[in-house]
Structure 1
């Protein structure tokens, strides 16, 4: 599938009707989501025929992108049941077989079938300090191949240090810097839209393939 086709399909997905600020819910736009997954597949082969987990999947954009790019199996995890209903509907509209699981990422128990790749747009930690690093820590324990994640560019040094020292990543690489378009969603937002610089990271877990598991 070509990049423009992928972006077009993702652009038609439904997003949050009533986003919840306590969960830092912001939609992952089609532009950034398509480039994230397209890079994971075409530069590293981390999507096609792989088991892909979407952490904090929200309305399912990243997981659905993985399914469109030929993932063998996709599982989306989110604590919010309202978001999961939208995600399920989005996948159903595209006739994609994606599993969605309601759970708190911090409480995942992993066993059994291997998860190859984790993709995520985690909370940036502006409301719940450290939420982004909690997501990353769990992702690196689960993935057997790679973790792709978006983080504010202003936190680059902190993310790299935490990944390598505290989360036991083998490597942490910024693939590119992107512009995250944040629409006016909440009452405290004064501008119609704000662009935030974010890094697209690729993390490689310290342990070899076989360390990951199916999360329940």
Structure 2
């Protein structure tokens, strides 16, 4: 498998990864757009968090961060998601793109226990973009990332919660080194959606364990 060396080429490859096949409102499933995924992974690569590293993608959906990491030279990638439909599609995508070295596991992330000590964790958890969404779901992902003891992890959150998150990360022994900002498009995929698309301001926190 040939490693990608240009950001635009990475974005083009990720465009072929489909969205969740049967999006489930209870899981707040929204696919990370290829332009956001490629930008974040490219930045992570530039910071030394991808090449020859072991990657875990929590709440991986159809596998965009696990696959992108391998395309950028990660040693291995593991994607974890509770949704078997999405995991099945992620496996099919790897076959079609001839991407090896990626494993996918169907599991609630709270029950996931390995691999031990990955180098880098990516996670795009339910971050509360729905008015009736259960609050604090993203914090469960943060706790799991800390439990896995990576060198660094990247986590999506609502931008409006930034001040709270800075304190939360600090109180849990994490050093925030970077905050990336994106307008995350929420498409009209659920019955309660009234707009064809709505952009939500999100942040991705890069954190290291102290």
TM over 0.5: yes
RMSD: 1.3
Give per-residue Cα distances to partners, 1:2-35, cap 9 Å, x unaligned: 1110011101111112200101100010010001
Correspondence for 1:168 = 173
How big is the shift at 1:168?
A: 2.1
- Residue pair 1:141, 1:205 contacting (<8 A) in 2 also: no
Q: Structure 2: give runs of 5+ residues left out of the alignment.
A: none
Rounded to whole Å, the distance in 1 between the matches of 2:50 and 2:149 is 12
C-alpha distance in 2 between matches for 1:111 and 1:45? 20
- Work out the CA distance in 2 between the residues paired with 1:45 and 1:16: 30
Q: Within the alignment, does 1:106 sit opposite 2:121 as a pair?
A: no
| Residues 1:190 and 1:111: Cα distance change in structure 2 (over 3 Å) | closer
Note the C-alpha offset of 1:111.
6.1
Contact kept? 1:174, 1:199, Cα under 8 Å: no
In the TM superposition, 1:26-65 aligns within 5 A as: 26-42=30-46, 44-65=47-68
What is the distance in 1 between the residues matched to 2:115 and 2:35?
34
> Which residue pairs with 1:210 in the alignment?
none
**Residue-by-residue CA offset, 1:74-107 (whole Å, 9 max, x unaligned):** 0000011011011111111111121001111111
TM-score (norm 2): 0.92
- Aligned match of 1:155: 161
Work out whether residues 182 and 195 of structure 1, in 8 Å CA contact, stay in contact via their aligned partners in 2. Answer: yes
CA distance in 2, matches of 1:128, 1:80: 18
TM-score, length of structure 1 as denominator length: 0.89
Are 1:142 and 2:156 counterparts? Answer: no
Please state whether the residue corresponding to 1:144 is helix, strand or coil: coil
Post-superposition offset of 1:41: 0.6
Shift of residue 143, structure 1, vs aligned partner: 3.5
Aligned mates of 1:176, 1:15 — CA distance in 2: 23
User: What number of residue pairs does the alignment pair up?
Assistant: 202
Distance 1:12 1:173 in 2: 31
Among 77, 82, 85, the alignment partner of 1:79 is: 82
Distance 2:206 2:9 in 1: 24
Measure, in 1, the Cα distance between the counterparts of 2:200 and 2:144: 25
Change in CA separation of 1:111 and 1:122 when aligned onto 2, cut-off 3 Å: closer
Match of 2:205 in 1: 201
Structure 1 gap segments, 5+ residues each: 207-216
Show the counterpart of 1:121: 124
Runs of 4+ in 1 over 3 A off after TM superposition: none
120-129 vs 48-57, which moves further: 120-129
Q: Which stretch of the first structure deviates more once superposed, 30-39 or 8-17?
A: 8-17
Residues 21, 85 of structure 2: 8 Å contact kept: no
